[in-house]
Amino acid sequence: MTFAVIQMVSQPDIAANLAAARGLLEQAAEAGARLVVLPENFASLGRRDAAAIGRSEALGEGPILPALKQAARDLNLWIVAGTLPLPPFDAPEARPRACSLLLADSGEVVARYDKLHLFDVDVSDNRARYRESDDYAHGQTIVVADTPVGRLGLTVCYDLRFPELYSRLREQGAELISAPSAFTEVTGAAHWEVLIRARAIETQCYVLAAAQGGEHPGPRHTWGQAAIVDPWGRLLAEQAKGPAVLCAARDAEEQALIRARMPVLAHRRLFTQGAPRPAADVE
């Protein structure tokens, strides 16, 4: 029940990024991983033509999805495809979403999560202003899917700041949560480790935090620190900067014991007009 997260330093060259991702996926497969998480914008970080990329992929004319499907089949891997700009498959002319796909080892897309929370934030770095909503539409739905290593909840980057999403994923049976990211150096230094460990502790899930970690055109600097966190909040693996493959194994028995000894889901209470009541009483 081994899984892996990948750290990259993606550039605007899609072909070069896909080649780099393929090499890292091969390393993960050689290490025995069954599920691998790529980072946010692994194929197109820094590009300003998200709509064109997404339309091409939705029409079956782009290079990204075929490369991912081929890698899944060749390497016998389940892949969380970080994010790529992708409109709804049935509406290729619509605005793209920051989409995280789950591919089975057959190459089939078995789940799709469109990023709920877009990074429209002012940051004290070289870029200063980030507005994801200029390029992307918001997602609408939370997603949990079965994989060979456990039931997986899908999230992306800025979602880490919204714990109610993670609580909902746990309610829907998540045992692992993917969080492909591209944190800035400023926000990463301040909050990255705190956030990924907190989300793991409160949900009692493994958090698979793939990352971008290095310098990109702009210049833009991403924090890195790709990591795997266990349900007790322990960092099982991490990488400061640069390309990397981090592997860990899920201990299902220990996870079940943690949840049994501290049954936070059963203890959870919601508040309506100041009066607490058990979450089970709320539809």
Query: Which entry of 132, 157, 175, 238 is annotated as an active-site residue?
Result: 157
Task: Please name the residue that has the structure tokens 């991490």.
Answer: 238
> Measured between alpha carbons, how far is 116 from 98 in angstroms, rounded to an integer?
9
Checking phi first, is residue 74 left (phi over 0); if not, alpha (psi -120 to 50) or beta?
A: alpha
Query: Which entry of 57, 69, 99, 115 is annotated as an active-site residue?
Result: 115
> Measured between alpha carbons, how far is 81 from 210 in angstroms, rounded to an integer?
10
Q: Work out the burial of residue 195: count CB atoms within 10 Å of its CB; fewer than 13 is exposed, 13-18 middle, 19 or more buried.
A: buried
Can 247 be counted among the known catalytic residues? Answer: no
Query: Which entry of 40, 57, 132, 185 is annotated as an active-site residue?
Result: 40
Whether the link from the prior residue into 92 is cis, omega within 30° of 0, is: no
- What single letter denotes the amino acid at residue 84? L
Q: Which two tokens stand for residue 93?
A: 């002319």
> Measured between alpha carbons, how far is 236 from 105 in angstroms, rounded to an integer?
25
Can 40 be counted among the known catalytic residues? Answer: yes
> Measured between alpha carbons, how far is 209 from 225 in angstroms, rounded to an integer?
9
Sign of CA dihedral 110, 199, 241, 187: positive
> Measured between alpha carbons, how far is 34 from 137 in angstroms, rounded to an integer?
31
Question: What pairs with residue 145 in β-bridges?
Answer: 152
Element (H, E) at 97: strand 97-103
Residues marked active site are found at: 40, 115, 157
